Structure 1
Amino acid sequence: MSVPIIPTEHQEQSLVIQYCNLRKIPIFHIPNGSYKSLTARIKSKKEGLKAGVPDLMIPVAKGNYHGLFIEMKRVKNSKVSVQQLKWIELLNKQGYKAIVCYGSSAAIKEIEEYIKEK
C-alpha cells in the first residue's frame, strides 16, 4: 500500500492563486517565508520584511472587514508560529479578517465565503 503524498505549502498556495486568478479575485503573495541568501535577507529586513506576516492577502473590503489575510499551511504536519499568531491577532484587531488555512480546499472555501459577504 502506498503512502499518500501530502502537497507542499507551495503547491497548496499555488492552487489558491490559480483559483483566484480564474475567478478574477485580486490576491497577492507576501514573500516573507521565501528562502533568500544572507545578503538578500538583510536587504529585505531593511525594506520592512517582518516574520510571521500571513502568506496571502485579498485587498477587498467585505462586510466589516478591510481585507482578507490567509496564512497557508500544509494539510498535515504544520504548525503556526508564535509570530504568525501575533500577526493574525493584530490584523483581526485592526479590522481585517486574518485566518490560518490548512490546504487549498480550506482556503478556497474561506475565500468563497468571504467574497459572498455584503
Structure 2
Amino acid sequence: MSANTDWTIGEVLKTAREKQVGFKLTYFMAIGLYALISIGISLAQEATVGTSGGIAASLIGIIVTLILFPLGVGLGLLGIRRAAGKETAVSTLWEPYNQAIPLIVMFVLMAVLIVAGFFLLVLP
C-alpha cells in the first residue's frame, strides 16, 4: 500500500484535542436539541398510544425512529465538518432532512441486510 502510516497515537490525540477547542458548546447544544426532540416525541407517544406492545405502538416507534434518524446523521455531520476544518453551526443538525428519503431508504436497506446476514450466519 502507498498510504502514509508515519503517525503516532500521541499526534492523533494532540490533533483531536486541538480540533475540539471551541466546538464542545456547539456539539453539546446539538445533542441537547436532539435529546429534547427525542424526549418530546417519546412523551407524546406515551400520552397518545402508550408503549404497550400493540401494533399502533410498534408503528409509532418505527415512525419515531425514522424521524430521529436524520438528526443522528446531523450529529455525525457536525463531527465530520469539524474534523475537516469547516464551520460547524448547530443548524447543521437539520441539513440531513434535505436528503431524508435516500437516508431512510439506506437505513431500511441496511436493516434488511443485517437481518439477512444474521439469518445466513445462524441457519447453516
| TM-score for the superposition, normalised by structure 1 | 0.28
- Which structure has greater strand proportion? 1
Q: Which has the higher contact order (CA 8 A, sep 6+)?
A: 1
- Which structure has greater helix proportion? 2
